[in-house]
Amino acid sequence: MKYFTNFSLLINRFIDRLVSLIYRTEKFRKKFHSIYPDEVVIVVSAAKAIQESSDKAVVSGRKWIFAKRSNVLLSSGRIVCGNWNIPLDTIEDAELVLLRSRPFTKHYRGQVLKLRTRLGQFFQFGMLIDKDWKDQNVLPLRITEHFLQYSALSVTLRITAIIGLSMYLIGEYLLCLSKFD
């Protein structure tokens, strides 16, 4: 069991570094620092982000397919993601939702930072697990745990993909068998 845990940790670190490389997280951090030299960067993570019209539960679905993909950066004065620039003093509520994919799983699958501003804006930033968000003390967070809920579209797409892959593998197997006849 210890081997599996260490291997899982190694894979998670690899994925985290790969995603940071793809999203050019370090370049984003440097660019932010050049624009706001007086602000301290607390944490930066690659993220998918959506803006909602009201406070909604975290559910996978169509909005996340077309979500903004960028880095989300927390500094001593603001949260920045793409062209969204949210000053910390305008944030009324912040919640960090730790997501598990199934009941009774020990490990978290990801996290979503949910924000509500005084202007009535609602944001959700989905990202890989990053303990720096929990450990920071600049943005007061409520930390909650939830199981990831799937929309009807998400379930349909997953079932279609499984059926399609199964049909392909069965076809390949039958084709392979026919070559030996």
Q: What is the pLDDT of residues 129-157, one digit of tens each?
A: 888 999 999 999 999 887 766 667 777 88
Query: Can you tell me whether residue 107 is helix, strand or coil?
Result: coil
Task: Write down the pLDDT at residue 49.
Answer: 93
**Single-letter amino acid, residue 34:** S
| Token pair of 59 as six digits | 């559910």
Q: pLDDT exceeding 70 applies to what percent of the chain?
A: 85
pLDDT of 103 over the 60 cut: no
Give the C-alpha separation, 94 to 80, whole Å: 14
Mean per-residue pLDDT, 39-67: 85
Give the C-alpha separation, 25 to 34, whole Å: 14
